[in-house]
């Protein structure tokens, strides 16, 4: 009887376990289905090679090549790879908040989708495409209305999509003042308010050619070069340039070519840069290259160790001090 009872218990546990496993996989299937249905972008974001933003009769087209992203319209230039990739990846993670309407006849004007704020389209190398028309209207929770791929559905999405539609070419253009690899810099010539500064890279070490006895702090030089590489424009200036008070002129000898930038300040205290290659006239971001205005060789010298650090410490000094302290207490 005991054996029979145990057998029944084992069978019951197996049945219970089977049902539990079945329910688990059913829940997983429902969860996967829900996630799939709530996905806003259906294309594979890793394969996206074209982004188009249309608004107010204007079109912005970004195209990926083997070398990275490029602006195709409204002008041709290099694009900021990070800015474009962030746009795609952040868009790919977005979910449908709610399906507001799903019927054959939709009053699009009720949701501002008869005349949307604009449209953004992601196309892939495989030929797949996702287009999103974004309304200027929001609901009471500040989420925006959208239409995907001309579907007869009104979707509720994060209002950040309105910001994506409002982006302009400057948001995606490569705004670096120096569009070359920092590692290709072989020498630097700076003429500023403090005078002249020449640096040269020899055998992997930066030196002052005219004063080889001067020891430079290599980290300080690398920080200087990194600052130049990180400097960005706030605007690309077309047409007449403002009258400028010269601040400094920087020339770099690169592995493949020479490069130069002349920097000056306008009457409104804005800083501008005239770049030799590619030829651009730029309004710089605040503080972008300010360090170069009064930079001297003294700012890059290796700091000698202090006298305090040079003193030879008596290894028994602490021990003697502790003994003296104990005697005083007695």
Domain locations along the chain? 45-171, 182-303
- The reported pTM is 0.78
Least confident of 220-229, 233-242, 297-306: 297-306
pLDDT of residue 325: 56
Per residue in 169-191, pLDDT (tens digit) is 999 999 999 999 999 999 999 99
What is the band of 15 on the pLDDT scale with cuts at 50, 70, 90?
A: low
pLDDT of residue 327: 56
CA distances for 110 relative to 106, 135, 165, angstroms: 9, 10, 20
Least confident of 134-148, 187-201, 312-326: 312-326
Query: Chain-wide mean pLDDT for the chain?
Result: 88
Residue 155 has pLDDT above 60, yes or no: yes
> What mean pLDDT is predicted for residues 115-141?
97
What is the band of 111 on the pLDDT scale with cuts at 50, 70, 90?
A: very high
pLDDT of residue 28: 42
> What mean pLDDT is predicted for residues 283-299?
96
pLDDT of residue 279: 95
What is the band of 241 on the pLDDT scale with cuts at 50, 70, 90?
A: confident
Least confident of 21-30, 39-48, 210-219, 272-281: 21-30
Better-predicted residue by pLDDT, 22 or 122: 122
Conformation bin of residue 113: beta by default, left when phi > 0, alpha when psi is -120 to 50: alpha
* Dihedral over Cα of 292, 295, 300, 304: its sign: negative
Residue 8 has pLDDT above 90, yes or no: no
In the chain, pLDDT over 70 holds for what percent of residues?
A: 81
Question: 10 Å Cβ neighbour count for 231?
Answer: 23
pLDDT of residue 202: 95
Per-residue buried b or exposed e for 159-188, using 16+ beta carbons within 10 Å of the residue's own CB: eebbebbebebebbbbbbbbebeeeebebb
């Amino acid at each position: 009887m005991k054996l029979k009872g145990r057998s029944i218990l084992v069978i019951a546990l197996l049945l219970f376990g089977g049902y539990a496993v079945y329910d688990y996989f059913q829940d997983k299937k429902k969860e996967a289905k829900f996630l799939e249905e709530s996905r806003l972008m259906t294309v594979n974001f890793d394969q996206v090679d074209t982004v188009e933003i249309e608004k107010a009769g204007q079109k912005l087209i970004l195209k990926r090549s083997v070398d990275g992203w490029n602006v195709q319209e409204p002008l041709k230039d290099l694009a900021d790879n990070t800015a474009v990739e962030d746009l795609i990846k952040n868009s790919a993670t977005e979910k449908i908040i709610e399906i507001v309407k799903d019927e054959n006849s939709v009053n699009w004007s009720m949701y501002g989708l008869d005349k949307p704020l604009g449209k953004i389209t992601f196309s892939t190398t495989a030929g797949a495409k996702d287009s999103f028309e974004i309304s200027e209207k929001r609901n009471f929770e500040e989420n925006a209305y959208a239409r995907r791929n001309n579907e007869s559905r009104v979707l509720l999405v994060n209002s950040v999509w309105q910001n994506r539609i409002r982006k302009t070419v400057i948001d995606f253009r490569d705004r670096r003042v120096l569009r070359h690899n920092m590692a290709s810099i072989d020498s630097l010539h700076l003429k500023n308010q403090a005078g002249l500064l020449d640096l040269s890279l020899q055998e992997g070490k930066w030196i002052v050619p005219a004063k080889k006895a001067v020891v430079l702090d290599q980290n300080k030089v690398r920080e200087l070069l990194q600052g130049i590489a990180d400097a960005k424009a706030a605007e690309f200036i077309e047409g007449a340039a403002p009258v400028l008070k010269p601040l400094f002129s920087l020339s770099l000898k690169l592995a493949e070519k020479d490069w130069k930038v002349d920097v000056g300040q306008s009457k409104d205290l804005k800083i501008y840069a005239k770049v030799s290659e590619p030829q651009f006239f730029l309004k710089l971001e605040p503080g972008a290259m300010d360090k170069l205005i009064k930079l001297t060789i003294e700012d890059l010298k290796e700091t000698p160790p202090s006298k305090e650090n040079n003193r030879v410490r008596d290894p028994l000094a602490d021990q003697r001090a502790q003994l003296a302290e104990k005697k005083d207490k007695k």
